[in-house]
């Protein structure tokens, strides 16, 4: 990892998605609702006609709903529940983007995760002795999965492939070499 | 196929070359001209699968000869190409006599 705190922060900001958009939207909605309630209260205190609905009648309607209002209330409730779930998920998930930090002695280096996957696929194809097109890999966080389609008649040593991939990824950062999964396809291809 | 980590590069044998090789070997072992022998290549759980169609040289025990030829072709192709041969399937289409046409 990078040494200084600013570099750590930079790479963290690059790897994780910002939550500012969701926060802004939620706050704007909150401000609008609060402003509306405030306006209605002031209008009622002054004694003039309400803007949209009198808060007291709105609460009464919500507490003692008639049949027509019940469906509207249900729809609103469902929409609010969905919005709430979306917000909770946005807040709790790490919001990782397809980038990975790589330690470097100068500055914060962040690379696309596809580069890690391609590196793993390349190492696997060299170790297994198959053409580059026969291997594919996907990487997420610090775990990498490599798929190898063997060439017919040439056995693929799964543990050797895993060792090679772990070694190559370990050169980027020791975190990437730890969780490597290798899958060798049952069926091979001719050359 | 690679020559180990010290040798860069890779040796690839095309399917066509493998087919020609298997065809020559099969023709030799069956005692039939290579023109009349057809070979299809496939994959059998990661090993090479050979599918040979062609005539066999006239003999007393044709089935025994064909079975022996299958085993021989398997070993020989495996030795020549460096690939594991998993299964060999031989389909006989006829008999080749020593001298089919009259010498004119």
Each residue's pLDDT tens digit in chain B (104 positions)? 666 667 777 778 888 999 999 999 999 999 999 999 999 999 888 889 999 999 999 888 889 999 999 999 999 999 998 888 988 999 999 998 876 566 66
CATH class name, domain B15-96: alpha beta
B33, B14 contact by CB (below 8 A): no
Q: In 10 A of CB A101, how many CB atoms?
A: 20
> Dmax of chain B from CA atoms?
60
B62, B24 contact by CB (below 8 A): no
Contact B48 A150 (CB under 8 A): no
Instruction: With beta carbons under 8 A apart, name residues in chain A contacting B44.
Output: 152
Instruction: With beta carbons under 8 A apart, name residues in chain B contacting A149.
Output: none
Nearest-Cα distance to chain A for B1, in Å, is: 5
- Among A126, A131, A186, select the one facing B46 at the smallest CB separation: A186
What are the residue ranges spanned by the domains of chain A? 17-92, 99-184
């Amino acid at each position: 990892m990078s040494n200084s705190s600013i570099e750590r922060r930079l790479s963290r900001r690059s790897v994780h998605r910002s939550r500012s958009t969701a926060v802004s939207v939620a706050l704007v909605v909150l401000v609008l609702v609060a402003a509306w309630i405030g306006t209605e209260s002031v209008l009622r205190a002054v004694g003039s006609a309400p803007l949209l609905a009198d808060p007291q009648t709105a609460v009464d309607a919500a507490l003692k709903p008639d049949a027509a209002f019940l469906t509207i209330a249900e729809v609103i409730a469902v929409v609010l529940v969905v919005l709430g779930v979306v917000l909770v998920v946005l807040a709790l998930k790490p919001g990782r983007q397809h980038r990975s930090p790589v330690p470097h002695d100068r500055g914060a280096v962040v690379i696309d995760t596809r580069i890690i996957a391609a590196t793993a696929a390349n190492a696997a194809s060299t170790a297994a002795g198959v053409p580059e097109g026969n291997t594919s890999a996907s990487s997420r966080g610090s775990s990498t999965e490599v798929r190898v389609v063997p060439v017919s008649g040439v056995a693929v040593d799964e543990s050797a492939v895993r060792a090679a991939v772990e070694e190559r990824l370990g050169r980027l950062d020791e975190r990437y070499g730890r969780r490597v999964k290798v899958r060798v396809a049952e069926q091979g291809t001719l050359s | 196929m690679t020559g180990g980590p010290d040798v860069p590069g890779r040796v690839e044998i095309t399917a066509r070359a493998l087919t020609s090789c298997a065809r020559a070997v099969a023709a030799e072992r069956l005692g039939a001209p290579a023109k009349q022998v057809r070979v299809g290549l496939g994959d059998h759980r990661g090993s090479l699968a050979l599918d040979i169609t062609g005539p066999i040289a006239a003999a007393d025990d044709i089935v025994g000869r064909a079975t022996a030829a299958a085993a021989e072709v398997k070993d020989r192709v495996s030795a020549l190409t460096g690939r594991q041969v998993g299964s060999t399937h031989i389909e006989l289409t006829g008999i080749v006599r020593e001298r089919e046409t009259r010498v004119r």
